[in-house]
């Protein structure tokens, strides 16, 4: 743009709006919006040099700034450029704006539910800003052969595209050229026209899918199972009990009474509920012998902790309020499509395998306050995967025998 002129306006200086500075930390056009925006940012660029300014804008300006939805991991700033582009679209009341940006594949799927990356995708999709995403052929850029994707954003979608995203598989539209530093392919004019025609048709086909944006969403739930234990009364458990804070608060006299009561049970195994029954018996025995002992729930917990051993067939452990205690070692997660009921999915996919499992109601989405955290990812392979049958074993065997014969012939020549 420093050198070129427009044929229609040769006197126009195209360089006057080229300004020095970092797009992320030093926006040179903070109050400008445009009807059309194009961007080709660097792939996989770390943004630690811009971190202070970006984080400040995210926290102080929130959605009034460019980075309100969230922040990606520091090792890849691609999605910061994506939000920057979205912020530059002209407002719908002023005619709206459309933009296109070339990115690597990571912004489609990196980051799980509630991560910065997922929240950015969520904001773009739920605000109906993503019109289409085109997967481009590999080896069309200098110095890199990775797969790239063209995101088309719009805040003025026609009625037929509302709440839908068009995925276009353009990976097969390329023409070979002489190798120029990892650039071995180009998209010819005819192939570009084919892609444009597919985009304009906005229909489902071999290279196109028109999808409701909610198709990309899921709700990640946390699945818990009860902590099941049995009590194994042994010397190591007694030693553990004596290191517990609840034991330390007892008087030496009471410690002696408890130790004497436990010793006869060494070598026995009981259900978890036995701890409370045993404690009640010790209290009664002590009272009958002139000593008053009070048992707090914290001491019952200390008994359970000291002598408890995980046991799949044991009783569920309850907390001081009578609620089931979850076994942290058995915690699992499930991703449920947004279109499906959590209850229906859980009954079909989880309970038949682990009947005592339950959904953690405390694991909820900060935005909609519903159980499970919402996530979005865009998986191209899911929609364009084509099964290719493996070769027949007989054909593979025949090829191997041919190669063996060729190797044997070469070895024969060497040894002659």
pLDDT at 254 over 90: yes
Quick one: 208 exposed, middle or buried, by C-beta within 10 A (0-12, 13-18, 19+)?
A: buried
Give the per-residue pLDDT at 270: 93
| pLDDT tens-digit readout, 175-227 | 999 887 778 999 999 999 999 999 999 999 999 999 999 999 999 999 999 99
What mean pLDDT is reported for the chain? 94
Is the CB of residue 208 less than 8 Å from the CB of residue 135? no
The answer to whether residue 234 scores a pLDDT higher than 90 is yes
pLDDT at 177: 92
Q: What are the b/e assignments for 29-48, b being 16+ CB within 10 Å?
A: eeeeeeeebebebebeeebe
**Structural tokens at position 181:** 């530093």
pLDDT at 48: 96
Query: What percent of the chain stands above pLDDT 90?
Result: 81
β pairing state of 183-186 and 175-180: antiparallel
Banded pLDDT at 320 (limits 50, 70, 90): confident
Q: What is the pLDDT of residues 45-72, one digit of tens each?
A: 899 999 999 999 999 999 999 999 999 9
Q: What is the pLDDT of residue 182?
A: 78
Domain 36-216 has CATH 3.40.50.150: yes
- Tell me what pLDDT residue 142 has: 84
**Strand-pair partners of 229:** 310, 315
The pTM of the full predicted model, rounded to 2 decimals, is 0.83
Half-sphere exposure of 94 (CA within 13 A, CB side): 11
pLDDT digits (tens, 9 = 90+) for 119-157: 999 999 999 999 999 999 999 988 788 899 999 999 999
Whether residue 326 contacts residue 226, with contact meaning beta carbons closer than 8 Å, is answered with yes
DSSP-derived secondary structure letter, 360? -
136: nearest Cα among 107, 174, 178: 174
Q: Give the pLDDT band of residue 3 (cuts 50, 70, 90).
A: confident
d(CA 131, CA 162) in angstroms, rounded, equals: 9
> What's the average model confidence in pLDDT over 147-173?
97
Query: In sequence order, what DSSP letters do the residues of 289-341 get, joined into one string?
Result: TT------HHHHHHHHHHHEEE-TTSEEPB-TTSPBPB-GGG-EEEEEETTS-
C-alpha span between 128 and 114 (Å, rounded): 19
Domains of the chain by residue range: 36-216, 228-316
Q: Is the pLDDT of residue 2 over 80?
A: no
The pLDDT value recorded for residue 11 is 84
Virtual torsion, Cα 336, 342, 343, 346, nearest 10 deg: 30
Q: Is 205 exposed, middle or buried (0-12, 13-18, 19+ CB in 10 A)?
A: exposed
pLDDT class of 17 with cuts at 50, 70, 90:
confident
Q: Tell me: pLDDT of 10 over 90.
A: no
Q: How confident is the model at residue 161 (pLDDT cuts 50, 70, 90)?
A: very high
Length in residues, the chain: 416
pLDDT above 90 for 5? no
Judged by DSSP in three states, 227 sits in coil
């Amino acid at each position: 743009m420093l050198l070129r002129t427009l044929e229609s306006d040769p006197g126009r200086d195209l360089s006057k709006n080229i300004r020095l500075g970092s797009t992320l930390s030093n926006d040179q056009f903070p109050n400008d919006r445009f009807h059309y925006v194009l961007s080709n940012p660097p792939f996989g660029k770390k943004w630690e040099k811009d971190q202070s300014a970006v984080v400040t804008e995210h926290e102080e300006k929130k959605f009034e700034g460019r980075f309100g939805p969230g922040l990606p991991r520091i090792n890849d700033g691609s999605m910061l450029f994506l939000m920057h582009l979205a912020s530059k679209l002209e407002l719908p009341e002023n005619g709206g704006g459309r933009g296109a940006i070339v990115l690597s594949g990571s912004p489609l799927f990196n980051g799980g539910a509630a991560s910065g990356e997922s929240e950015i995708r969520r904001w773009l999709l739920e605000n109906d800003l993503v019109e289409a995403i085109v997967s481009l052929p590999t080896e069309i850029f200098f110095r890199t052969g990775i797969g790239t994707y063209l995101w088309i954003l719009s805040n003025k979608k026609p009625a037929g595209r509302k709440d839908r995203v068009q995925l276009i598989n353009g990976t097969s539209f390329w023409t070979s050229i002489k190798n120029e530093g990892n650039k071995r392919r180009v998209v010819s004019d005819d192939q570009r026209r084919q892609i444009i025609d597919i985009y304009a048709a906005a229909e489902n086909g071999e290279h196109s899918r028109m999808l409701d944006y909610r198709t990309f969403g899921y709700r990640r739930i946390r699945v818990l199972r009860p902590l099941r234990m049995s009590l194994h009364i042994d010397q190591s458990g007694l030693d553990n009990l004596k290191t517990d804070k609840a034991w330390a608060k007892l008087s030496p006299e009471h410690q002696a009474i408890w130790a004497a009561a436990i010793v006869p049970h060494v070598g026995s195994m009981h259900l978890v509920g036995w701890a409370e029954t045993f404690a009640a018996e010790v209290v009664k025995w002590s009272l009958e012998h002139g000593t008053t002992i009070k048992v707090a729930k914290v001491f019952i917990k200390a008994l359970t902790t000291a002598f408890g051993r995980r046991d799949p067939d044991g009783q569920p452990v309850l907390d001081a309020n009578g609620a089931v205690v979850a076994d942290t070692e058995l915690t699992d997660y499930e991703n449920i499509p947004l279109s499906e009921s959590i209850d229906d999915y859980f009954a079909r996919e989880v309970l038949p395998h682990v009947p005592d499992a339950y959904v953690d109601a405390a694991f909820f989405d900060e935005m909609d306050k519903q159980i499970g955290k919402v996530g979005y990812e865009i998986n191209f392979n899911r929609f364009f995967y084509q099964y290719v049958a493996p070769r027949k074993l007989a054909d593979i065997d025949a090829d191997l025998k041919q190669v063996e014969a060729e190797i044997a012939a070469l070895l024969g020549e060497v040894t002659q």
